[in-house]
Amino acid sequence: MGSDENILEMRGITKVFPGVVANDNVDLDVRYGEVHTLLGENGAGKSTLVKILFGLYKADEGSILLRGQPIAVGSPSEAIASRIGMIHQHFMLVPTLTVAENVALGMTSSRRPFTDLDAVSRRVSEISEEHGLAVDPSVEVRRLAVGERQRVEIIKALYRDAELLVLDEPTAVLTPGEVDDLFVILRRMADAGRGLIFISHKLREVMSLSDRITVLRNGRVVGGTTPAQTSREELAQMMVGRTVRLTPEKPVLDDGPALLSVENLTVHGDRETVAVDDISFDVRSGEIFGIAGVSGNGQRELAEAIAGLRGVEPGSSIRLDGVDATGDDTRARRDRGLGFIPEERMRDGAIAEFTVSENLVLVDYGSDEFTSRGMLAFGAIGQHSRRLVDEFAVKTPGIDTPTSSLSGGNIQKVILARELSASPTVLLACQPTRGVDIGAAEYIHTRLIEQRSIGTATILISEDLDEVLGLADRIAVMYEGEIVAIVPAEEATRDKVGLLMAGVVDPAPQTNS
């Protein structure tokens, strides 16, 4: 029973923010015992809808029925009292508190005014055992790995006896293996009769976990379906509103000369520990060299070392186009043909308060083209900017618009335009499509492949395994600061690379005696 009975009905939800209709007459049903996926691009209105459900926003119009009863959720505490749980995209944990304290936060205690942490810990252990969520209640959250923190979030919701659980992009920070574990737990929770709302834009995950799928685009529901009735391609099309090529096509190229050579590179992390441990590789002209790995295994430090933003240890060597660049600063490396698309686009890639035009000349503003007699040549800068905005299809009201008002995908296009217009021989692209719409991601991928065709040596650092598998000619997997394997694209499968990302190196071939 129960599976065609609704735990939740949201009817005609409309929410308007200044200048944007975030939700436009949205309907959503969730049944007991099902995983209902909300699929959509960034800004499609998924988060807004569930924030309304959780009492973080107030809908302008529409009604919510929970277990058949109309409710008005005015605050998160009312949502929790109605047994709605939410796992937020960014962990809502206090790192300096223990697991038990994090779970107890916001709950009334049986021993007021004191917290009864012993009782909380006992209950946490029970929940852990019951649902296979191993975690020690007395440990401070800051000492936990990402996967464990996620478990704490789920325990928090279960502790509050949530019957309707919202998971806002819960897999963003997990390894493929951790995602599999999470899905087993989520499926079990649904089978026990809970209703789950799963928010994602990762099509593979949506296809594997969902019972039903509702697709949002520009704040409206554009369709509902089930995994059995649809395909990844069709879902992508519904999300974006046009045909999308999910796997980019790459022409076959001959091997070119090595344009970037990294030898015995050792780099220290922020806490003086070894972050990159004696690694060596070459990237050839016309090659995309993918670096896969779970966040925090030295990729960031590697990228910063290549870009010249982080010092390297003695014995390390970085050569650009055959010339030693180990001691060069960032400017000298750029002059040698290095282009850099940094991971933190708003911190390292662009200046949010600057205009689109200013960000487009952030590297070259001092060249003869853009500066004459110490004064910025606005005519030339404007012309250059307008050309790039057109060429790279940056959606912006104008070149003098503050960059911060653009969407993530368009900011990334600004950075891409700046870096590619300098005709790099070596391109270092870090998480180039993270948080970027499918449409923009498709465009960025196309441009990276174009660069490959004209002979650029590209290092693609990405936590998105599909992206690396789709674009790279060879894939290096980083684990704890080392490259544990370099796999040619033909031999790289999701499973193989996923295992390597978790530090599982192929066992030695079985020998029969």
Partner 1 sequence: MGDFFTLSVLVATAASAIRLATPYLLASLGETIGQRSGVLNLGVDGVMLLSAFFSYWTVLETGNLWLAVLVGLVTGLAVGVLYGVITVRLSATQGISGIGIFIFGLGLSDLLFRRQVGTPKPVRRLPNVDIPVLSDIPYLGEALFQRNLLTYLAFLLVPATALLLSRTTFGLNIRSVGENPQAADSLGVSVERTRFIAILMGNSMAGLAGAALVLQLGIFQPNLTQGLGFIAVALVYFGAWRPVGVMGGALLYGLVNATVLQWKALGIIPVSGSDLANMAPAVLTILALIVLARRVHAPAALTRPFTRH
Interface contacts to partner 1, rule CB under 8 A: 54, 56, 75-80, 86, 88, 90-97, 101-102, 104-109, 112-115, 156
Helix, strand, or coil (residue 11): strand
Smallest gap from Cβ 93 to partner 1, in A, equals 6
Pick between residue 42 and residue 115 the one whose CB is nearest to partner 1. 115
Using CA atoms, how far apart are residues 408 and 192, in angstroms rounded to an integer?
Answer: 38
Pick between residue 69 and residue 108 the one whose CB is nearest to partner 1. 108
Smallest gap from Cβ 195 to partner 1, in A, equals 19
User: Pairing between strand 371-372 and 317-320?
Assistant: unpaired
Pick between residue 79 and residue 483 the one whose CB is nearest to partner 1. 79
Residue 267 has, within 13 A of its CA and on its CB side, a CA count of 30
Smallest gap from Cβ 119 to partner 1, in A, equals 13
Pick between residue 6 and residue 407 the one whose CB is nearest to partner 1. 407
Pick between residue 47 and residue 462 the one whose CB is nearest to partner 1. 47
Closest CA to 454 of 337, 324, 354, 328: 337
Pick between residue 406 and residue 476 the one whose CB is nearest to partner 1. 406
Smallest gap from Cβ 58 to partner 1, in A, equals 11
Using CA atoms, how far apart are residues 243 and 263, in angstroms rounded to an integer?
Answer: 43
Long-range contacts: 445-449, Cβ < 8 Å, 24+?
A: 445/248, 445/470, 445/471, 446/248, 447/392, 447/416, 447/420, 448/288, 449/248, 449/249, 449/250, 449/288
Structure tokens at 107: 């709950």
Pick between residue 78 and residue 234 the one whose CB is nearest to partner 1. 78
Smallest gap from Cβ 378 to partner 1, in A, equals 34
User: Pairing between strand 426-430 and 258-268?
Assistant: unpaired
Contact between residue 169 and residue 490 where contact means Cβ atoms under 8 Å apart:
no
Task: Please name the residue that has the structure tokens 């004209």.
Answer: 454
Pick between residue 168 and residue 211 the one whose CB is nearest to partner 1. 168
Smallest gap from Cβ 142 to partner 1, in A, equals 10
Using CA atoms, how far apart are residues 229 and 242, in angstroms rounded to an integer?
Answer: 19
Smallest gap from Cβ 101 to partner 1, in A, equals 6
Structure tokens at 93: 């944990």
Smallest gap from Cβ 103 to partner 1, in A, equals 9
Instruction: Please enumerate in sequence order all residues whose Cβ is within 8 A of that of 31, keeping only pairs 6 or more positions apart, or say none.
Output: 2, 3, 4, 5, 6, 7, 195, 211
Smallest gap from Cβ 407 to partner 1, in A, equals 16
The b/e string for 366-405 (b: 16+ C-beta within 10 A; e otherwise) is eeeebbeeeeebeebbeebbeebbeebebebeebebebee
Smallest gap from Cβ 480 to partner 1, in A, equals 26
Pick between residue 17 and residue 378 the one whose CB is nearest to partner 1. 17
Pick between residue 82 and residue 261 the one whose CB is nearest to partner 1. 82
Pick between residue 50 and residue 478 the one whose CB is nearest to partner 1. 50
For the beta sheet containing 6-17, the strands, ordered from the edge strand earlier in sequence to the opposite edge, are 20-31, 6-17, 61-66, 69-71
Smallest gap from Cβ 77 to partner 1, in A, equals 3
Contact between residue 189 and residue 131 where contact means Cβ atoms under 8 Å apart:
yes
